[in-house]
Amino acid sequence: MILAATERELARIEAQVHRKKTAVPGAAEIGMAVGAVLNKKKMAKRFVVTIGDGHLSWHRRLDQIEAEGRLDGIYVIRTSVPTEHLDAAETVQAYKDLSRVERAFRSLKSVDLDIRPIRHWTADRVRAHVFLCMLAYHAEWHLRQVMAPLLFHDTDLAAAKTERTSPVALTEPSDAVKAKKTTKRSAEGQRVMSFADLMAHLGTLVRNTMRVPARPKHRFTLHPKPTALQQAAFEVLGLDPVRVQ
């Protein structure tokens, strides 16, 4: 408990004050030591401390501690959106979805799209750069939704949210995503992986232009056979890998 730990630190300082036989520590010296403890523990508002030359005493602010204890674990979310547009449960969910917004910005800035550094110097080029990055993230978001069966994404997240007893409660992962994380396979037995790994795997499928040494002008296109995972990805996207190449 932080209160007890703070009191132990204050007791240690008090013992040091009384232990000094030669020079009595001044109030400023004691105050610096006490301030370091209270600031570190963030407990200054929960104690009444009396400091003097060679003297230190304290006691808890019991009324304030009890009042804070009654509100412990409670937080309030306020919005300017009318109730008919956003009820209490939807307001809480919108607040919790901020983590998804933060992940999106992290993806834009560094993880996937590297919007920074911006190596442009004119306003038009900077705006074009940011627009293309946003467009790329828009495409990525839709790819993640469509390819969710082949990723570790929870495809039953909406159903899991409806089973919560309260919008504040954590959403438990569905049985489907638990099975995917355990077996590394989808319900259909297909291998699943992260979005970045799937994109890298799809990137190994290339179109080869072949030339015949005996006839230099004769060329033909060789389409490699997709792996089972690549074929499944194209089927989910509704694309023919040969025509895409």
Work out the pLDDT band at 11, boundaries 50, 70, 90.
confident
pTM: 0.55
Q: What pLDDT, in 10s, does the model give residues 158-191?
A: 676 677 777 777 777 777 788 888 888 887 888 8
Both 22 and 97 in one domain: the answer is no
In this structure, the strands spanning 215-222 and 47-52 are unpaired
Both 206 and 176 in one domain: the answer is no
Residue that finishes a domain, picked among 184, 211, 235: 184
First to last CA, the chain: 63
Structural domains counted in the chain: 3
Work out the pLDDT band at 220, boundaries 50, 70, 90.
confident
Both 130 and 178 in one domain: the answer is yes
Model confidence at 215: pLDDT above 60: yes
Model confidence at 125: pLDDT above 80: yes
> What residue spans of 81-194 are helical by DSSP H?
88-96, 98-106, 123-146, 157-162, 175-183
Assigned domain for 163 exists? yes
Model confidence at 19: pLDDT above 80: no
Phi-psi group of 104: left, alpha or beta (phi > 0 → left; psi -120 to 50 → alpha; rest → beta): alpha
Work out the pLDDT band at 216, boundaries 50, 70, 90.
confident
Residue 36's pLDDT is what? 87
Work out the pLDDT band at 20, boundaries 50, 70, 90.
low
CB-side exposure of 211: number of CA atoms within 13 Å? 4
Give me the domain span that covers residue 145. Answer: 88-184
212: tokens are: 């015949």
Distance (Å, rounded) from C-alpha 80 to C-alpha 151?
37
Distance (Å, rounded) from C-alpha 179 to C-alpha 176?
5
Assigned domain for 123 exists? yes
Model confidence at 210: pLDDT above 60: yes
Both 97 and 161 in one domain: the answer is yes
